[in-house]
Amino acid sequence: MNAPDSEADTGLKVLQADADAAGQRLDQWLAAALGADFSRNRVQTLIRQGAVSIGGVVSDQPKRKMADGDIARIDLPEPEPAEPQGENIPLDVLYEDDSLIVINKPAGLVVHPGAGNWTGTLVNALIHHCGDSLSGIGGVRRPGIVHRLDKETTGVMVVAKSDIAHRALSEAFADHGASGELERAYQALVWGIPPRMTGKVDAHLGRAADRVRRAVVPEGRDDARHAVTHFTVLEKFGEQDLKGVHAASVECRLETGRTHQIRVHMAHIGHPVIGDPDYGQALRTKANRLPEPVQTLVKSFPRQALHAGLLAFLHPVTQIKMSFEAPLPADMQAILDGLRNL
């Protein structure tokens, strides 16, 4: 296979097949020839759109067989603009290069546009912030979301800026780091003190009755998804008895990544996250027995006290392990300080 020639002004690439290419499918050969920036799915889309010609004749069949000496011309379109519009929303950027961006997400920021949140999201902010440095994910100039944090959960997130980064990071998050260096650690403030300093919650999750929340469900249910959370008690607060108000700071590490996983799992073992409006309502009255000023802080806290403090992963291009940490947000730190006085 000869190296591709390109004409930057037109987006044209010219490739010549050699003897090794003979008999290969057009999409298979092109995906290998164009390199890691082009997934096979994207190559197939380009072929079906008529962007590839062999010997001057448009070839729109991905399964066409190649022959030694075939000359392929690929007319690469400019990446299409993302449907969401860029918005000048401030971002706390921890790191950025041509492949990815790492941010410290604040509370209240929805990650992706959707029903009821078509604007003001992280995606809108990233389109504005990154601009032309987004090389295109699947042919569209947009940020590649590879994992999410709930709207009211704070902390470290990584977002892809290129196809190659998107595929590599998506694979890492899909297998939850089993085959790589992915690490995710969250800090949560929970009601009660777990009986053990370390533990594991292994419980399948599925949809609750309202279809927005999640619940622990039997393994055999159709929508059941395996979920495992490991927790470590970092600090204990208050009296450890039936009448006293007690709480704990715990670190949670994910072995899987399901919607609301930490929040549901901690509530399942009797230690819901403080402030959680969906899974901690049963224990909200505990705040009435706290001394001031922490009582007011907890009762007025409008969200779950959950923070993604650590994220580590292999850089998709350099293969160097990168690790990022974000401190607790000020409102959650204030509650932690108040609990320390119990």
What residues are annotated to the active site? 150
Query: Could you count the other beta carbons within 10 Å of the beta carbon of residue 139?
Result: 19
How far apart CA 167 and CA 137 sit, in angstroms, is: 9
Q: Is the dihedral of CA 167, 173, 176, 180 positive or negative?
A: positive
Residue in the structure block whose two tokens are 């197939």: 44
Helix H or strand E segment including 156:
strand 154-160
What residues form DSSP beta bridges with 237?
A: 247
How far apart CA 320 and CA 297 sit, in angstroms, is: 41
Asked if 285 and 298 touch (Cβ cutoff 8 Å), the reply is: no
How far apart CA 269 and CA 202 sit, in angstroms, is: 11
Tokens encoding 229: 């959370």
Q: Which of 5, 7, 14, 1 is nearest to 69 (CA)?
A: 1
**How many Å separate Cα 9 from the centre of its chain?**
35
Q: Is the dihedral of CA 247, 251, 253, 254 positive or negative?
A: positive
In 3-state terms, what secondary structure has residue 254?
Answer: strand
* DSSP β-ladder status, 198-202 and 205-207: unpaired
Residues 6+ apart with CB under 8 A from 125: 86, 87, 88, 89, 90, 91, 109
How far apart CA 38 and CA 213 sit, in angstroms, is: 37
